[in-house]
Chain A
Amino acid sequence: MSLTARERKKLAVGLAFIGPNIAGFLIFILFPLVFSLAMAFTNWDLRLHNIFKGNDVRFVGLENFVRLFREPDFFQYLGNTLFLMMAIPFSVAGSLFAAILLSQDLRGGDRRVWGGVLACAGLVVGTGALVMVGAKVTAMLLLVGGVAGIVLIGGVVGGRTVHRTLFYFPHFTAGVATFLLWKKLYSPHTGPVNHALRPILTQFAGLVTRLPVGSVRALALFCAALSAAVVLFGVRQLRRGWRDGEIGGLSIALGSVLLFAPVVAWPCCGGSAGAGWVVVATAVVAGGMLWVGIAKPRDFTCTLDRGLGHGLIVCGALMVVQFALLGLGNVFTDLPAMSADGLNPPEWLTQYSWAKPSIMIMGFWAAIGSNNMLLYLAGLSNIPVELYEAADIDGASRVQRFWNVTWPQLAPVTFFILVMAVIHGLQGGFEMARTMTRGGPAGSTTTLSYYVYTQGFETGRLGYASAVAWTLFALVFLVTLFNWKFGNRYTND
């Protein structure tokens, strides 16, 4: 490349400014990257190659990756990572709900309404205080009640800023400090969570044992029915999208894989027979409906992969909801037997089946008021008022306004949030695993990132750990590709 003197001078000035940054970039980002890729194909292991044992580091080709895919642990940890990511739809929904609440007119429009609200809030607080003092509750409840009163009055006076700050607080402080705090909150015998749960569960167990067994079983069936309704809802969405030419064949295929996955998985997970049949019957009906819907000639045609992003997101979220409902149904099935022996609160982080949900609950707490809520707030303020006015003229209810105006208008924000959450989720879980559970019990909270840490920095299998890290990167890259291919449709709107 031959440059003129003028160009050479420009290059020199440009590089002078970028120099410090690019030096660091080359040493601490680009070089490690290339080096790490090379490492993934070597047998570098600190237990074999150290100052005492001078074995040479060799290239071993794909051996690390082959070993990785033969390792049952790897799939358990991949499963853990994906399981923890099932909290994403819930926390995004929570953030959206919080943002919608905060975007309401908290002063009611004018001073007179606001005055009325203030008076009502004062009344509530005053009555609450009188009742508490009158009922001679413990000092602790009085304190919590007092805080509640302060929050209420503060919210009415301070409006959005006060609540936004309080909502944002858990996310803002989230880190090792709050993880350790939650570890103590979850402590099975001395933690406040179980202190609060124990009396509630005792009451609840008493209630359940007094109820006829059939009625509790009916709740399990109800959960199964709800889950069936979710499948039908999803099928309806797919059919409508297909008819309007917004969803192509590939989207239908992949979407229904997600949508029907819980139904197929259900009988294998040992659910009760009755509830299981409800779900399976629905699957057959829904599958038939889908088939009939697709077989008909449609109004608009479109390419095969049209609407893939939207379809996968909707079906993925519905899948998670189905799993949650089926899990709840399972709980109701076993409830009568369990209540007979008296219900005990779970041992949270130290119990195999509860460790992951514990982390998800904590994550939910931190995620409601997170950056996602702020993004939704910004998105909500960008929706043109005219759309709502038009909806009002058409006589739309609040629910209809949400599904027909707010939700589609927020689609780009939702898409962005979900993609980011999935990318972070794949790499996540390290800090929780290291500070709260050490990856246990029995590896139930070990995620891929924690696996890389233990292999690379505790065991010293540098080559193998690099291979795991690059496999993880490949997954992240898939999601990013997906974002590039299908995200544009949303961001260009």
Chain B
Amino acid sequence: MTDHDDTLTLEERASNRAVYTRRVAWTTALHLLLAGIALTLVLPFIWMVLTSLKELEEVGLESWLPRVFQWSNYREVFHVEGILFGRWYWNSVFVAASVTFLQVLTSSLAAFSFSRLDWPGRDRVFLLYLATMMLPGLVMMIPNYQVMIKLGLVDSYLGLIIPASFSAFGTFLLRQFMMSIPRSLDEAAEIDGASKWQLFWDVILPLARPGLITLGIFTFIGNYHSFFWPLVVLKSTHRYTLPIGLLFFDSSQGQQTNLMMAAITMSVIPMILIFVLLQKQLVKGIQLGAVKG
């Protein structure tokens, strides 16, 4: 659309006007629809936050609004008898962060070996990795638990961290990433007299950073939400992670729904932070992972 063109006839201006009106109407309608959907999707969260600020007596009432905003609920969650919320929170973040660090480390080393080094039998080993990727994790849970018993890792943080630190998927993802780094860099590094370790640490790893970040985000989120394995492995209350701990609010503690909602709200916050801060990498990573995987 040209703006102020004196050569336009009256009819042309009128039709421009009609086009303009139609586009405004269409786009506004689109926005109304989008806002409607977004609101529906967010409503449960609004109820969650409002309920977390209620007094216990008002929880089941029809009005969503608390009479007085009980911000103290958020403090109280940490002091409920039998609930070690602060501890669980820390456990969750600690375990997820450890797994993330170890998994990115082992996966990048293995991916380097698969993509950059030639050794006899390499492709056959890689095929084995690929084959296990599509196996349901469920099949491995029962025997893995027996392994934990034999290693004495039941009811320990190591029992959560170590089995999760080796991933065929992570290796695969990073291998795909490293394959796309040009081979000529290797030769240049070799001419400069770099060892394989220097090639890995100083050349490939910095270039594979987007891949490492993607894998890191996936691993952290996955382990922060992890439920089945901690449920099986952990026995003592003080070692629980958040997903297991949250169940306590639903059972023993007399259904204090307001505190439960406060706990849920707080447990969701790290996810929101990750999403807001790393949105771009995450969206790209999901699209990349699917295209390649």
Q: Which of A115-123, A214-222, A254-262, A287-295 makes up part of the contact surface?
A: A115-123
- State how many angstroms separate the Cβ of B278 from the closest Cβ of chain A: 11
Q: Does any Cβ of A come within 8 Å of B275's Cβ?
A: yes
Chain A 424-443 interface 0/1 with B at a Cβ cutoff of 8 Å (1 = within): 00010011001100000000
Q: Does any Cβ of A come within 8 Å of B165's Cβ?
A: yes
The docked-state distance in angstroms from the alpha carbon of A190 to that of B54 is 14
Please determine whether A21 and B60 come into contact, CB atoms closer than 8 angstroms: no
Q: Does any Cβ of B come within 8 Å of A403's Cβ?
A: no
Chain B 137-177 interface 0/1 with A at a Cβ cutoff of 8 Å (1 = within): 11111111111000000000000001101101001000000
Given contacts A148-B39, A181-B264, A430-B228, contact A165 B275 (CB under 8 A): yes
Please determine whether A21 and B106 come into contact, CB atoms closer than 8 angstroms: yes
Please determine whether B140 and A29 come into contact, CB atoms closer than 8 angstroms: yes
Please determine whether A113 and B142 come into contact, CB atoms closer than 8 angstroms: no
Q: Does any Cβ of B come within 8 Å of A399's Cβ?
A: no
Q: Does any Cβ of A come within 8 Å of B287's Cβ?
A: yes
Interface centre among B45, B48, B119, B163 (most CB of A within 10 A): B119
Q: Does any Cβ of A come within 8 Å of B268's Cβ?
A: yes
Residues on B with C-beta less than 8 A from A144 are: 39, 43, 46, 64
Please determine whether A435 and B261 come into contact, CB atoms closer than 8 angstroms: no
- State how many angstroms separate the Cβ of A486 from the closest Cβ of chain B: 16
Q: Which of B6-14, B75-83, B206-214, B243-251 makes up part of the contact surface?
A: B243-251
Q: Does any Cβ of A come within 8 Å of B30's Cβ?
A: yes
Name the CB-closest residue of A to B112.
A17
Please determine whether A151 and B117 come into contact, CB atoms closer than 8 angstroms: no
Please determine whether B141 and A456 come into contact, CB atoms closer than 8 angstroms: yes
The docked-state distance in angstroms from the alpha carbon of A143 to that of B42 is 13
Chain A 369-389 interface 0/1 with B at a Cβ cutoff of 8 Å (1 = within): 101001100100000000000
Please determine whether A480 and B134 come into contact, CB atoms closer than 8 angstroms: yes
Please determine whether B143 and A31 come into contact, CB atoms closer than 8 angstroms: yes
Which residues of A from 71 to 115 have beta carbons under 8 Å from B?
A: 98, 101-102, 104-110, 112-114
The docked-state distance in angstroms from the alpha carbon of A434 to that of B110 is 36
Which residues of B from 45 to 85 have beta carbons under 8 Å from A?
A: 45-48, 51, 59-60, 62-65
The docked-state distance in angstroms from the alpha carbon of A19 to that of B143 is 23
Interface centre among B30, B35, B105, B261 (most CB of A within 10 A): B35
Majority-rule SS of A interface residues: helix
Please determine whether A469 and B287 come into contact, CB atoms closer than 8 angstroms: no
Please determine whether A21 and B118 come into contact, CB atoms closer than 8 angstroms: no
Please determine whether A182 and B44 come into contact, CB atoms closer than 8 angstroms: yes
Which residues of A from 158 to 210 have beta carbons under 8 Å from B?
A: 161, 163-170, 172-178, 180-185, 187, 189-190, 192, 195
- State how many angstroms separate the Cβ of B270 from the closest Cβ of chain A: 10
Residues on B with C-beta less than 8 A from A368 are: 37, 41
Please determine whether A18 and B114 come into contact, CB atoms closer than 8 angstroms: yes
Interface centre among A3, A98, A178, A434 (most CB of B within 10 A): A178
Given contacts A140-B64, A457-B232, contact A449 B138 (CB under 8 A): yes
Please determine whether A192 and B47 come into contact, CB atoms closer than 8 angstroms: yes
Please determine whether B41 and A177 come into contact, CB atoms closer than 8 angstroms: no
Given contacts A33-B132, A155-B38, contact A13 B59 (CB under 8 A): no
Q: Does any Cβ of A come within 8 Å of B28's Cβ?
A: yes
Please determine whether A472 and B166 come into contact, CB atoms closer than 8 angstroms: no
The docked-state distance in angstroms from the alpha carbon of A369 to that of B163 is 31
**Pick from A104, A106, A181, A476: contact of B134, CB under 8 Å:** A476
Residues on A with C-beta less than 8 A from B249 are: 180
Please determine whether A435 and B110 come into contact, CB atoms closer than 8 angstroms: no
Please determine whether A173 and B271 come into contact, CB atoms closer than 8 angstroms: yes
Majority-rule SS of B interface residues: helix
Please determine whether B65 and A140 come into contact, CB atoms closer than 8 angstroms: yes
Please determine whether A155 and B41 come into contact, CB atoms closer than 8 angstroms: no
Interface centre among B24, B112, B261, B276 (most CB of A within 10 A): B24
Given contacts A169-B42, A374-B283, contact A175 B63 (CB under 8 A): no
Q: Does any Cβ of B come within 8 Å of A139's Cβ?
A: yes
- State how many angstroms separate the Cβ of A461 from the closest Cβ of chain B: 10
Please determine whether B142 and A14 come into contact, CB atoms closer than 8 angstroms: no
Residues on B with C-beta less than 8 A from A22 are: 110, 125
Residues on A with C-beta less than 8 A from B33 are: 101
Residues on B with C-beta less than 8 A from A109 are: 23
Which residues of A from 449 to 492 have beta carbons under 8 Å from B?
A: 449, 452-453, 456-457, 462, 465-466, 469-470, 472-473, 476-477, 480
Please determine whether B143 and A143 come into contact, CB atoms closer than 8 angstroms: no
**Pick from B59, B125, B136, B261: contact of A181, CB under 8 Å:** B261
- State how many angstroms separate the Cβ of A306 from the closest Cβ of chain B: 26
Q: Does any Cβ of A come within 8 Å of B196's Cβ?
A: yes
Please determine whether A117 and B168 come into contact, CB atoms closer than 8 angstroms: no
Q: Does any Cβ of B come within 8 Å of A354's Cβ?
A: no
Q: Does any Cβ of B come within 8 Å of A65's Cβ?
A: no
- State how many angstroms separate the Cβ of A183 from the closest Cβ of chain B: 7
Given contacts A106-B30, A152-B31, contact A18 B113 (CB under 8 A): yes
The docked-state distance in angstroms from the alpha carbon of A21 to that of B102 is 10
- State how many angstroms separate the Cβ of A114 from the closest Cβ of chain B: 8
Please determine whether B250 and A180 come into contact, CB atoms closer than 8 angstroms: yes
Q: Does any Cβ of A come within 8 Å of B254's Cβ?
A: no
Q: Does any Cβ of A come within 8 Å of B238's Cβ?
A: no
Please determine whether A177 and B264 come into contact, CB atoms closer than 8 angstroms: yes
Residues on A with C-beta less than 8 A from B264 are: 177-178, 180-181
Chain A 126-169 interface 0/1 with B at a Cβ cutoff of 8 Å (1 = within): 00000000000011100110011001100110000101111111
The docked-state distance in angstroms from the alpha carbon of A243 to that of B276 is 51
The docked-state distance in angstroms from the alpha carbon of A121 to that of B106 is 52
Add 7 more A-B contacts to A32-B143, A180-B247, A181-B48 (CB < 8 A): A117-B31, A120-B25, A172-B221, A192-B47, A423-B134, A472-B139, A473-B138
- Which residue numbers of B lie inside 8 Å of A, CB to CB? 1, 20, 23-28, 30-39, 41-48, 51, 59-60, 62-65, 105-107, 109-110, 112-114, 117-122, 125, 128-129, 132, 134-147, 162-163, 165-166, 168, 171, 196, 200, 221, 224-225, 227-228, 231-232, 242-244, 246-247, 249-250, 257, 260-261, 264, 267-268, 271-272, 275-276, 279, 283, 286-287, 290-291
Those 6 A-B pairs whose CB atoms lie nearest each other, nearest first: A24-B166, A190-B60, A14-B119, A21-B110, A116-B24, A17-B113
6 contacts between A and B (CB under 8 A): A13-B119, A143-B64, A164-B283, A177-B268, A178-B264, A375-B287
